[in-house]
Amino acid sequence: MEMAISVKIAVMFLFILQGVRASPRPAAKMDKIRFLALGDWGGLPFSPYTTPVEKSTAQQMGVVAETMGIDFILSLGDNFYYSGVNDITDNRFQETFEEIFSAKSLKDVPWYVIAGNHDHSGNVTAQIKYSKVSKRWNFPHYYYDLNFTIAGSNTTITILMLDTVLLCGNSDDFLGMEPEAPKDYHMANTQLEWVEEKLKASRSDFLIVAGHYPVWSIAEHGPTKCLVQKLYPLLAQYRVSAYFCGHDHNLQFIQDDNGIGYVLSGAGNFMEYSIKHKTHVPKDWLKFFYADISSLGGFVYVEIIPEQMIITYIEARGKSLYQTTIPRRSGR
């Protein structure tokens, strides 16, 4: 299903959130799960510590949260440009995060966070520790899982939050260098083993994996060779529903022959047009690409009901750009 919809449509139902290992917050009662996915939103390392794109994107996220309802936000890495944070008292937490995503509708919404390559240029441990400072910042470990159940049904959702920098190595955007190898092979292999164990054991109706680097992308960075080699076979083998990522600064939806949806949402701070790697992705896989450099950014809104996951791409001026659906997994 592909169609444009208005983001002003009010959502009338509620959902229940259960078993989220990253947060001890009490469950709310709802009959669907709704979240935003946003990557590469990390402002600037100098005053005013933000960009017009980040501010506009944050404002529209607040509008969507108020009109459609959201229950959490997936933060897909590159949370603080260009070199992460120094320590837990770094003013970037306030000036790039707390003071920008400040709409009333976002105040009590939990963020589930992973690190990107720019975060790894700083102190990721400090970002993890910030979970004890901010009531909405949830970053319990470099990689972790989230588990949800929709009330009134037995529909379950699992999201595996990965650290693709530890898995594949860091990259240098300014030199155009892509990750070549992990810094610590033991740590990389331990995470990969954890991923496979979780995927193999999962009986969830919707199984999502999220990381910073894309598996597939047609833009500046393109496919991440390490993930294509190591992660992609696991996504296919265990019939993952979708893979969410950032890294390239635009919006993309790619769907492979197995039906796995690749949701790239990297337009939270910059918007860059590039189709440099278009020939590196099978041409019939690309379903949607948006990188209007005059745009003020964008993000993804996801609603999961028992039958399907509905994915909507929204630009910062409020226009719905593209919508698609992924069905509930069968034959588990």
Domain span at residue 247? 33-162+205-222+240-327
Q: Report the C-alpha gap between 63 and 162 in whole angstroms.
A: 29
Question: In this structure, is residue 151 part of a structural domain?
Answer: yes
Question: In this structure, is residue 246 part of a structural domain?
Answer: yes
H or E segment at 234? helix 232-237
Question: In this structure, is residue 196 part of a structural domain?
Answer: no
* pLDDT for residue 177: 72
Question: In this structure, is residue 81 part of a structural domain?
Answer: yes
Question: In this structure, is residue 133 part of a structural domain?
Answer: yes
If one counts the domains in the chain, the total is 1
Q: Smallest Cα–Cα separation from 271: which of 234, 235, 296?
A: 296
For the question of whether the overall pTM of this predicted structure is more than 0.85, the answer is yes
* pLDDT for residue 332: 57
Edge-to-edge strands, sheet with 251-255: 144-149, 156-161, 206-210, 242-245, 261-265, 251-255, 286-290
CATH value at residue 77: 3.60.21.10
* pLDDT for residue 280: 97
How far apart are the two ends of the chain, measured CA to CA in Å?
Answer: 23
Question: In this structure, is residue 54 part of a structural domain?
Answer: yes
Q: Report the C-alpha gap between 199 and 280 in whole angstroms.
A: 27
Percentages of the chain per state (helix, strand, coil), in multiples of 5: 25, 25, 55
* pLDDT for residue 295: 86
* pLDDT for residue 176: 63
* pLDDT for residue 312: 98
* Tens digits of pLDDT across the chain (332 residues): 443 333 333 333 222 233 334 433 333 446 899 999 999 999 999 999 999 999 999 999 999 999 999 999 999 999 999 999 999 999 999 999 999 999 999 999 999 999 999 999 999 999 999 999 999 999 999 999 999 999 888 999 999 999 999 999 997 765 567 888 899 999 999 999 999 999 999 999 999 999 999 999 999 999 999 999 999 999 999 999 999 999 999 999 999 999 999 999 999 999 999 999 999 999 899 999 999 988 899 999 999 999 999 999 999 999 999 999 999 998 65
Q: How far is CA 155 from CA 59, 177, 260, 306, 323, in A?
A: 32, 42, 19, 6, 22
Question: In this structure, is residue 120 part of a structural domain?
Answer: yes
* pLDDT for residue 101: 98
Question: In this structure, is residue 264 part of a structural domain?
Answer: yes
